[in-house]
Structure 1
Amino acid sequence: MFAMPVYRTPDFSQEPFASAPDATLAEVEADGIAPEGFHSTSVFPEYVKVGGTWLLPRHSRMDASIVVARNEAGERMLRVVENRNLRAGDLVVLGRTEDAEEGIYVHADCFDDPCAEQADRSDKFAFRQARSRETSFARDYDRLYERLRHDRDHGKIVWVMGPAFAFDADARRAMQRIIEAGFVDGIMAGNALATHDLEAATLHTALGQDIYTQQTQRNGHYNHLEVINRVRRAGSIEAFVRTEGIEDGIVAGCVRQGVPLVLAGSIRDDGPLPGVIGDAYEAQAAMRAMVSDATTVICMATMLHTIATGNMTPSYTFDEQGAIRPVFFYTVDVSEFVTNKLLDRGSVSATSFIANVQNFIVIVAKGLGLM
């Protein structure tokens, strides 16, 4: 049965917290330039002592500065801000230690998971301790179903998707049913996913190849370009879906269910579709806004989007009652290199599935009773 991991708040009445000094602050002198000695955040909860009180930012991300500000009630609060978004006059936390000696404490080991199984470590030698193609993922799937069912009603579920789903009829059908069943609160992807999904919805091809038979169609290399042109003529993805009466696929499911899409462009894009964000930093800001209050994040078959999302997703968030809870983060890819790359980047620790994402999403839909 699902049980939420329990957050252990530090006892700030005890040492080393009680005698720790207030954090040192410095004023930003010019927009976009942090003061010397700025403290850079991780994905973990980070407390800062200000005016004798230990404060925790509500929204965080790694590789950013902490700004001390005041809320509407005049109370001190912490904002986590990318250095490029700092503004002259902001008060930034300084310090490079994380054990409270400079008024900064990084609380890394903070959740107790009542559902976690404890491994038997009595044997020094054991097979298959790392995650690989040979790993059994059966328990991971079961826990994923439990978490999705919980967060559908008590959280926010964000999916990060590569274009592979649009190339397979069953994968598109599975994802659409997951969307329609309420398990999707946002999707982050690129131009390609939306383009080829709409191509599949209108022409039953992706890059000119039938999404079921895999047969290449005559002049099929025009198909995605024709679709982009038609969507641009309609003015928006939403207008195209509604005026064309499209009911099939991932994008149509999002439009009809009111699920927001953040489509970040790339240098490789054809078109792109209207609504695709071409400015990299504007796209990053839109992605961060979507993921900042997410409770479950599932990244599938897109290495760069996965790493970007991992870098901007904290390991914690707040539930409906204001209690601190973990963010469940998953990576899914057929390549072990891709799932390990996220950890190499210092991003949030994730449960990884080494799997073909087209098969993965069908298994998830079936596990949720949708197929």
Structure 2
Amino acid sequence: MFHMPIYRAPDFSQALFTSAPDATLAPVEMDGVAPQGFHSTSVFPEYIKVDGAWLLARHGRMDASIVVARDEAGAPVLHAVENRNLRTGDLVVLGRTENAEEGIYVHADCFDDPCDETPEGMNDKFAFRQGRSRETSFARDYDRLYERMRYDRDHGKIVWVLGPAFAFDADARHAMQVLIENGFVDGIMAGNALATHDLEAATLHTALGQDIYTQQTQPNGHYNHLDVINRVRRAGSIEAFVREQNLDDGIIASSVRRGVPLVLAGSIRDDGPLPGVIGDAYAAQTAMREMVTDATTIICLATMLHTIATGNMTPSYTYGDDGQIRPVFFYTVDISEFVTNKLLDRGSVSATSFIANVQNFIVIVAKGLGLM
């Protein structure tokens, strides 16, 4: 049975914290340029001592500066701000230490998990199969994923980061569609390709010219996605195209009909692209961060660069609907161990990894939730 991991705040009565100085602040002197010696954030909760009190930014992220602002009552408030978004006059926290010496405390080991299944008294320094690989059994991970998704459907926000592989398979598209229709999707982040080929599948039953069920290449099929892009651009928007064609099949049409927001980040290799695809990389990053800011579960599937980007901008904690600090459940799924490990190499959140074909994964998830 699902139990939310319990957040353990630091004991600020300890001498470590009471004797610590207030953090040093310095003003930004040029837009987009942090003061020398700025403190850069991690994915963990980070407390800053201001006016003698230890404060936590409500929304964190990795590789940002901490700006100290004031609310209407004059009380200090912390914001994690990308350096490019700093503005002249912002007061930025300085310091490169993490254990309260400079009024900065990084609180890494902060959650107690009631669902931890480590045997009592288990403290072996050597044990087999401690990593995650293609030989790992993921059965219990699936069970815990179902429990977390059911909880967060009603008490959180579930964001999916999708590679185009979903659009190439009929069963995977259907599985994702039923997840959307049953409230397990609160936002989708993807690229031009996922949307293009899903709409191609909805209108022509192909993806990159191949039948999405038989995988048979169709005559002149290499034109199909280009024709679809052209038709959507003529309609003016993805939403208008879905309405004009009365589409009710697939990921994009279901998202439009249910009002699930899409963030489509473009790339240098895009065809078209579809209207609505964000071509400015930093505008896309901003839109992605806005979507993940209050996410409680994030599931990244078969898209390495989108996964790393999402991991970099996602903190390990957020606030639940009860106002309490809770973990962000982060999953990365790919057929390649290299891709799932790459996220950890980048210093991002400690994600639960599935080494799996994502088309099979999404069907298993839909069936495990009783939707197929």
* Paired amino acid for 1:106: V
Amino acid paired to 1:66: I
1:312-362 per-residue CA deviation (whole Å, 9 max, x = no partner) reads: 000000011211000000000000000000000000100000000000000
Show the 5 A alignment for 1:1-150: 1-119=1-119, 121=122, 125-150=126-151
TM-score of the superposed pair, with normalisation by structure 2: 0.98
Q: Which residue matches 1:279?
A: 280
Counterparts in 2 of 1:122 and 1:39: CA distance versus 1, 3 Å = closer
> What secondary structure sits across from 1:269 in the alignment?
coil
Q: CA deviation at 1:70?
A: 1.3
Task: Determine helix, strand or coil for the equivalent of 1:47.
Answer: strand
Partner residue in 1 for 2:322: 321
1:240-264 Cα shifts (integer Å, max 9, x gaps): 0011000000001100110000000
**What is the CA–CA distance in structure 2 between the aligned matches of 1:365 and 1:72, rounded to whole Å?**
47
The 10-residue stretch of structure 1 (328-337 or 63-72) with the greater mean CA deviation from structure 2: 63-72
Q: Which residue pairs with 1:199 in the alignment?
A: 200
SS of the aligned residue for 2:102 comes to coil
d(CA) in 1 for partners of 2:341, 2:287: 26
Q: 1:224-239 maps to which residues of 2 (within 5 A)?
A: 224-239=225-240
Could you tell me which residue of structure 1 aligns to residue 310 of structure 2? 309
The 2-side partners of 1:167 and 1:338 are apart by 20
Amino acid at match of 1:177: V
Name the CA distance, whole Å, in 2 between partners of 1:315 and 1:323: 14
Give, in whole Å, the separation in 2 of the partners of 1:137 and 1:258. Answer: 32
Structure 1 ranges of 4+ moved more than 6 A: none
Q: Distance in 2 between the 1:194 and 1:93 partners? A: 41
Whether 2:286 is the aligned partner of 1:291: answer no
- Structure 1 window deviating more from structure 2 (6-15 vs 357-366): it is 6-15
Task: Tell me if 1:188 matches 2:174.
Answer: no
The structural deviation recorded for 1:170 is 0.1
Deviation at 1:129, TM superposition (A): 1.7
What whole-Å deviation, never above 9, does each CA across 1:28-76 have from its counterpart, x for those lacking one?
0000000000000000000000000110000110001000001233321
- Look up the equivalent residue of 2:174 and give its one-letter code: R
Unaligned runs of 5+ residues in structure 1 are none
Paired letter, 2:142:
Y
Q: Distance in 2 between matches of 1:188 and 1:357?
A: 16
Query: Where do 1:215-254 residues align within 5 Å?
Result: 215-254=216-255
Q: Aligned residues, how many?
A: 371
Q: How far apart are the structure 1 equivalents of 2:124 and 2:39?
A: 41
Give the Cα–Cα distance (whole angstroms) in 2 for the partners of residues 293 and 3 of structure 1.
20
Counterpart residue identity of residue 62, structure 2: M
Quick one: which amino acid aligns to residue 57 of structure 2? P
Q: Percent identity?
A: 84
1:157-196 equivalences under 5 Å are 157-196=158-197
| Aligned amino acid, residue 344 of structure 1 | D
Look up the SS of the partner of 1:239 in the other structure.
helix
Post-superposition CA distance 1:241-290 (Å, at most 9, x none): 01100000000110011000000000010000000000000000000000
Find out whether 1:208 has 2:242 as its counterpart. no
Partner of 1:351: 352
TM-score, normalising length from structure 1?
0.99
AA partner of residue 51 (structure 1): D
AA matched with 1:89: G
1:94 deviates by: 0.2
**2:15 match: secondary structure:** coil
Question: Once superposed, what is the RMSD of the aligned Cα atoms?
Answer: 0.9
Structure 1 CA distance, aligned partners of 2:16 and 2:62? 24
Amino acid across the alignment from 1:61: R
- Label 1:122 to 1:106 Cα distance change in 2 as closer, same or farther (>3 A): closer
- Alpha-carbon distance, 1:175 to partner: 0.2
Question: What is the rounded CA distance, in whole Å, between the counterparts of 2:44 and 2:291 in structure 1?
Answer: 19
In 1, the alpha carbon distance for the partners of 2:37 and 2:191 equals: 36
In 2, distance between residues paired with 1:195 and 1:344?
31
In 1, Cα distance between equivalents of 2:360 and 2:254: 20
Separation in 2 of the partners of 1:212 and 1:57? Answer: 48
CA distance in 2 between partners of 1:105 and 1:126 (Å): 33
Which secondary structure does the structure 2 equivalent of 1:17 belong to?
helix
Shift of 1:124: 5.2
Work out the CA distance in 2 between the residues paired with 1:138 and 1:199.
34
CA–CA separation in structure 2 for the residues paired with 1:152 and 1:273: 30
Q: How far has the Cα of 1:125 moved from its partner?
A: 4.5
Q: Greater CA deviation, 233-242 or 112-121? A: 112-121
Which stretch of the first structure deviates more once superposed, 275-284 or 318-327? 318-327
Find the aligned partners of 1:122 and 1:113 in 2 and give their Cα distance.
17
Deviation at 1:105, TM superposition (A): 0.2
